[in-house]
Structure 1
Amino acid sequence: MTNPVLAFVFPGQGSQQIGMLSDTAKAFPEIGATFSEASSTLGYDLWDLCQNGAQEDINLTERTQPLLLTSSVALYRAWLANGGVKPACMAGHSLGEWSALVCAGVLAFDDAVRLVRERGRLMQEAVPAGEGAMAAIIGLDDQAVEAACAEAAQGGVVAAVNYNSPGQVVIAGSAAAVERAIESCKAAGAKRAMPLPVSAPFHTELMRPAAEKLASQIEAAVFNAPEMPVIHNVHAKSEANPAAIKALMVEQIYSPVRWTSCVQAMAVDGVSQLVECGPGKVLAGLTKRIDRSLAAFSIESPAQMSEAIASTAV
């Protein structure tokens, strides 16, 4: 059964924590089974890494990406196995778009694990450590952030890359240009402008080499038509054609994440409930800033899972 007003949203990098999903794994066998499946594909014990490893290990992009994909798919499987209804549509923030595609039946989980590991490796390789940066700009409208970036570029690369909610935009680019843009945003009246602890300038033109290298692997993978609409980061619309979805997943690597527009598009289509399917509650928080009329649920813990399943039952 599908709930016509329910959407699932999947988080991206930054939601990972050592020890995450430990209680959930005890309650739902789907968690351990999904992690075992991913570990077989990766060649190392992903569950042990996220329970007993170091935070700096899971913050390595080529490990973060398979870890968050696996966490989200595991929670979605547990949701369905425990009586949760299927959503009417899905979206994922950056990396989370791959989780949405797996859960919408576009590609096999093991293929996605391989692709996002490679995606992470190539994105990290594209810009040497220390040469790129990202920063969160709070309390400035999109146009003012874009103008500050244009002023600060001075031949370098800096751009708005994550339109997360009204008044919250992430910028990224070469380290010196981002530093100049932070000062420009402060001068323009930003409440806060703070560097983010990330290892590469994601979703900028600097990522285009990574996208070009990953394109052949995406092209070789089997993509199916989605079982339900997936709203894409690049243009905040759904796409039914597998070849077009492949092209969007390449373009997504060096294009801004238009998250505010994605959530607004779902609301226009009649969505009134969102479930954040992954560790943390970043997207649930952003949802409230984008559209206060939307009910947002997290399902990271067994209690949250039970409450969300009951609240979204048709």
Structure 2
Amino acid sequence: MTKQTAVVVAPGRGTYNKAELGYLTRHHADKAELFAQFDAFRTQTGQEAVTALDGAERFSGAKHTRGDHASPLIYAAALADYQAIDRDKFDVLAVTGNSMGWYIALACGGALSPMGGFEVVNTMGTLMQENLIGGQIIYPFMDDNWVGIPGRRAEVFAKCAEISTRADHVLGLSIDLGGMLVLAGNEAGLVAFEREMPRLEDRFPMRLPNHAGFHTHLQKPVAEQGRARLDAGLFGQPEMPLIDGRGAIWAPGAANKHALWDYTLGHQVYEPYDFTAALRVAAREFMPDVFIVLGPGGTLGGAVAQSLLMANWRGMSNKTGFQAEQAQTPRLLSMGREDQRALVTG
């Protein structure tokens, strides 16, 4: 059997929702030993076990979407999914991720051990929740066929810049996410944008619950606390190429470990995260047969596809073309979707 080449994409916050409850038990009963280590770490910090959160009778938005709960849940699910990829079918060329997914990518790519990655994710998720500075909203700039609406991006950025000139208003780009712009700011900035921008599809601008103003200078205090708690010694050489939130590649054997720590707990925390650029670099530098999106959830697939269309990957330029290609030769496999998961795990 001929192996397919793959770039793996790790998800960020917002991907563990009601449908994902029980994900660890459902898909990873064979990884009890790994999850027990995560639970032991949480017990030491006085926090509820990851398996207890995943095994709850019912999903609670107020509880399961908190940074100190969602982050370790998503990490455990995504790392276990990475370990479940059938290596007889796929040759993984590189790993990238969206936002918090960068921490997961570091663990998948070997720059952090499974427990080192868990410590980073749990610490940063907890600090984000304890501080909860600012918030995030999403606004699209593509149409239903995933083609950019002329002038929309510029309109959004102009509005952000104008709002930020007002006294006590902060608003700016948080994540460049395919056909969506994730914006972050303080309450005054967010409310102004929500009030003054056209409402689209009866749901945008959409406020993200329990999300702080990630990837903006509002998070500098969190970055400082993270650097104080997480030692650079946790970081090692990656075992495979890692593509970060600037589109920069960290190559095995050539990465400066202190610089990796510095980026992860510095720029990555308080500067905008360019997921679109990470996917463009992945597509053009590695030209994989497929992109594998780790679970939990399947919501990141759209942003991955949109980012690849913007890079004109394999000549695809809109949703119709992507779906036609996907029906003939699946190029995007989301492990959070049962039908596509089976193609990845064997």
**Aligning the two structures, in what range does the TM-score lie when normalised by the shorter sequence?**
0.7 to 0.9
Give CA-to-partner distance per residue, 1:163-192, whole Å, 9 cap, x none: 1013x101111111111123444399x993
Give CA-to-partner distance per residue, 1:82-106, whole Å, 9 cap, x none: 7453410111111111111101111
1:225 aligned to which of 237, 245, 248: 237
Contact preservation (8 Å) 2:3, 2:89: no
In structure 2, the CA distance between the partners of 1:177 and 1:275, relative to structure 1 (3 Å rule), is same
2:256 aligned to which of 214, 227, 241: 241
Instruction: State the distance in 2 between where 1:115 and 1:230 align.
Output: 17
**The residue matched to 2:300 in structure 1 has which SS?**
helix
> What runs of 5+ residues in structure 2 fail to find an aligned partner?
142-148, 315-330
Percent identity, please: 24
Q: TM-score, normalised by structure 1?
A: 0.86
Instruction: State the distance in 2 between where 1:24 and 1:306 align.
Output: 16
**The residue matched to 2:8 in structure 1 has which SS?**
strand
Corresponding residue of 1:260: 276
**The residue matched to 1:16 in structure 2 has which SS?**
coil
CA RMSD of aligned residues (A): 2.8
Contact preservation (8 Å) 2:111, 2:237: yes
**The residue matched to 2:213 in structure 1 has which SS?**
coil
Instruction: State the distance in 2 between where 1:49 and 1:84 align.
Output: 33
**The residue matched to 2:99 in structure 1 has which SS?**
coil
Corresponding residue of 1:66: 72
Give CA-to-partner distance per residue, 1:249-306, whole Å, 9 cap, x none: 1121111110111111111111341111121112211122222447111113665333
**The residue matched to 1:186 in structure 2 has which SS?**
coil
Contact preservation (8 Å) 2:24, 2:51: no
Number of residue pairs the alignment of both structures matches: 303
2:226 aligned to which of 199, 214, 223: 214
Corresponding residue of 1:157: 170
Corresponding residue of 1:90: 95
Contact preservation (8 Å) 1:236, 1:265: yes
**The residue matched to 2:230 in structure 1 has which SS?**
helix
Worse overlay, 156-165 or 279-288: 279-288
Instruction: State the distance in 2 between where 1:85 and 1:13 align.
Output: 26
> Within 5 A, what are the aligned runs for 1:162-241?
162-166=175-179, 168-186=180-198, 192-233=204-245, 235-239=246-250, 240-241=255-256
In structure 2, the CA distance between the partners of 1:40 and 1:24, relative to structure 1 (3 Å rule), is closer
In structure 2, the CA distance between the partners of 1:106 and 1:23, relative to structure 1 (3 Å rule), is closer
Give CA-to-partner distance per residue, 1:112-171, whole Å, 9 cap, x none: 22222221122223346xxx23211112643332211110121321101111013x1011
In structure 2, the CA distance between the partners of 1:39 and 1:210, relative to structure 1 (3 Å rule), is same
Q: TM-score, normalised by structure 2?
A: 0.79
Contact preservation (8 Å) 1:122, 1:214: yes
In structure 2, the CA distance between the partners of 1:182 and 1:23, relative to structure 1 (3 Å rule), is closer
Deviation >4 Å, runs of 4+: none
Instruction: State the distance in 2 between where 1:244 and 1:32 align.
Output: 34
Match status 1:47 vs 2:51: yes
In structure 2, the CA distance between the partners of 1:246 and 1:283, relative to structure 1 (3 Å rule), is same
Match status 1:10 vs 2:10: yes
Corresponding residue of 1:100: 105
